[in-house]
Amino acid sequence: MRYWLMKSEPDEYSYDDLVADGRTHWDGVRNYQARNMLRDDFAVGDRVLYYHSRSKPPHVVGVAEVVRAGYPDPTQFDPEEKYFDPKATPDEPRWYVVDITPVGKLARAVPLAELKQSPALEGMLVIKRGMRLSVQPVDEAHFEAVVEMGGGLATG
C-alpha cells in the first residue's frame, strides 16, 4: 500500500462532496509529473490524505481510498468539458485519473501551519516551500502522524 496527498479547493470539490457522492474520479490534473504518478503509481487500496487548498487556512480534512487505479481521464476527449485537450486521443491519451472513495473525516482538520510545525513531518512534500503538485506521495509515517494530529477518523 502507498500513501498520497491530494489537493482540492473546497469550493470546487470538498471532502463533503466526496462523502455525498460516495466515489469520484480525480480529474483535471494537467501536470505531467502528477499525471505519471496517477498513471503508473497509484493502486487500488492506497490511502489518501484529502487536503483543502485555497481555504483559510489550508488543511487536511479527511482520508480517502483509491478504488480504481489509473485510467485515461474521460474529460480530455470531450470538447464540452473544461479539461478538454485537443491533442489527446483515445488511442494516445495524455491525462489520467484514479477513482477514490471516502474512508473518514478527521476528528479535526489539521491546518498547514500545524503540519509545518511538527518535527514528525520533516521532509513531507506539502510543507516544502514552492511545492505545488496537486497529487504527491506521502511516507507512511507522515500519513499516520497527520491522522493522529487530526485526532483519528471521526465516528458517527
| Chain segment 32-52, per-residue pLDDT in tens | 999 999 999 999 999 999 999
Quick check: helix, strand or coil at residue 87?
A: coil
pLDDT tops 80 at residue 155: no
Mean pLDDT value of segment 11-39? 94
The count of C-alpha atoms lying within 13 angstroms of the C-alpha of 134, restricted to the half-sphere facing its C-beta, is 16
Computed over every residue of the chain, the mean pLDDT equals 95
List, for residues 86-134, the tens digit of each pLDDT value: 999 999 999 999 999 999 999 999 999 999 999 999 999 999 888 888 9
Domains and CATH numbers, the chain: 3-149 (3.10.590.10)
Q: Is the pLDDT of residue 28 over 90?
A: no
Alpha-carbon span 117 to 4, nearest angstrom: 20
Residue 98: what pLDDT?
98
pTM: 0.94
**Per-residue pLDDT, 153:** 93
CA distance 42 to 13: 20
> Does residue 156 surpass a pLDDT of 80?
no
pLDDT confidence tier of residue 154, bands split at 50, 70 and 90: confident
The dihedral sign for the CA sequence 72, 67, 21, 138: negative
CA distances from 97 to 91, 94, 132, 156 (A): 16, 11, 18, 30
